Amino acid sequence: MATYPGRVNEVRQDCGGALEAFVACPSSAVPPPGRYLSAYALVDIDAPLATPLFLSQLAPGGFWAAPPFPASWLPGTELILRGPLGTGFDLSSSIARLALAGLSDSPARLLPLALVALKRDCAVTLYTDAHLSALPSTLEIYPLSSLHEALTWPDLLALDLPLERLPALRDLLGLQPGDLLPCPAQALIWTPMPCAGLAECGACAVPSHRGYKLACEDGPVFPINHLEW
């Protein structure tokens, strides 16, 4: 797996107060939507394990990394980046209507997928209760509570889903036990990935129909119909 040098150039707070940062790096290091970089700062004694960094926004010379971002990584911090790692979102050319649902504190990890879809002239809606910064005017925003009413609309539903919320997903979507989703769906399972695939430590285990899968290697994006929920 390729490794790259990186550098924290700027750190800021998003609308919800979470930290995000601009990471300068080669263009080949920038992770596509849903995949991640394993980032390590040699000078950071408070973060001995690698930190997964997800794309929030492309920018010349690097990318904005989605929150959360280590508070101790100040501008000027030199990083070692490994990746891109994992499995990302699969936005096939046949998709014309995309629904995004952010169930974590920030929908930032979903926004790169929205921009790809908008460039293809797809209709895109975002369901979230999080505070939002400036977004494309063509992106429609709705509260999470209305998501269950729109499940027959999209060609693909993409979720940013904390692992601890997976057991409650059926209730959120208004589905009864045994009900199937009326649309294809993929979920970025948000959970700590301390070894980033190097040790198969099992800390990021995700329940699936065929036993447990590792978010760091088999994901972090999974087809929903492969998961046990």
Task: Supply the CATH number for residue 21's domain.
Answer: 2.40.30
Q: Are residues 79 and 103 in the same domain?
A: no
Residues 160 and 121 in one domain: yes
Last residue of a domain, one of 61, 85, 109: 85
Q: Which two three-digit tokens encode residue 15?
A: 């609308």
- The CA distance from 102 to 156, in Å, is 14
Are 220 and 113 in a shared domain?
yes
Q: Each residue of 105-121: b (16+ CB within 10 Å) or e? A: bbbbbbbbbbbbbeeee
Q: Does a structural domain hold residue 55?
A: yes
91 within domain boundaries: no
Strand 156-162, strand 97-102: pairing: parallel
Q: Is residue 104 part of a domain?
A: yes
The reported pLDDT for the residue numbered 178 is: 81
pTM score = 0.93
Mean pLDDT of the chain: 92
Cα–Cα distance between 38 and 45 in angstroms, integer? 17
> Nearest CA to 57 among 103, 2, 1, 12?
12
Domain end call among 85, 116, 135:
85
The answer to which of 16-20, 29-33, 114-118 has the lowest mean pLDDT is 16-20
Provide the domain count of the chain.
2
Summarize pLDDT for 110-138 with one digit per residue, the tens. Answer: 999 999 999 999 999 999 998 777 777 78
Within this chain, do residues 43 and 76 fall inside the same structural domain, yes or no? Answer: yes
CATH of the domain at 170: 3.40.50
- Domain termination site, one of 85, 116, 134: 85
- Does the pLDDT of residue 46 top 60, yes or no? no
Percent with pLDDT over 70 in the chain: 97
Is residue 77 located within the same domain as residue 101?
A: no
Structure confidence at residue 161 (pLDDT) = 96
Establish if 90 belongs to a structural domain.
Answer: no
Domain annotation covers residue 71 = yes
Distance CA(159)–CA(110), nearest Å, equals 8
Residues 141 and 187 in one domain: yes
* Structural domain span for residue 68: 3-85
**Is pLDDT above 80 for 48?**
no
pLDDT at 20 over 80: yes
Same domain, 17 and 104: no
Does the structure show a pLDDT above 90 at 188? yes
Mean pLDDT of 71-88: 95
Closest CA to 196 of 28, 5, 40: 40
- Residue 33's pLDDT is 97
Task: Assess whether 157 and 66 both reside in one domain.
Answer: no
Residues 210 and 105 in one domain: yes
Rg of the chain taking only CA atoms, in angstroms: 17
User: Cis omega (within 30 of 0) on the bond before 192?
Assistant: no
Q: Are residues 105 and 155 in the same domain?
A: yes
Task: Give the list of residues 6+ apart from residue 15 with CB closer than 8 angstroms, or none.
Answer: 130, 131, 132, 133
Same domain, 107 and 197: yes
Judge if 117 and 180 occupy the same domain.
Answer: yes
pLDDT of amino acid 14: 86
Edge to edge, what strands does the sheet with 185-190 contain?
140-142, 123-128, 97-102, 156-162, 185-190, 221-223
Q: What mean pLDDT do residues 80-85 have?
A: 96
Residue 45 — pLDDT band, cuts 50, 70, 90?
low
pLDDT tens digit sequence for 200-220: 788 899 999 989 999 999 999
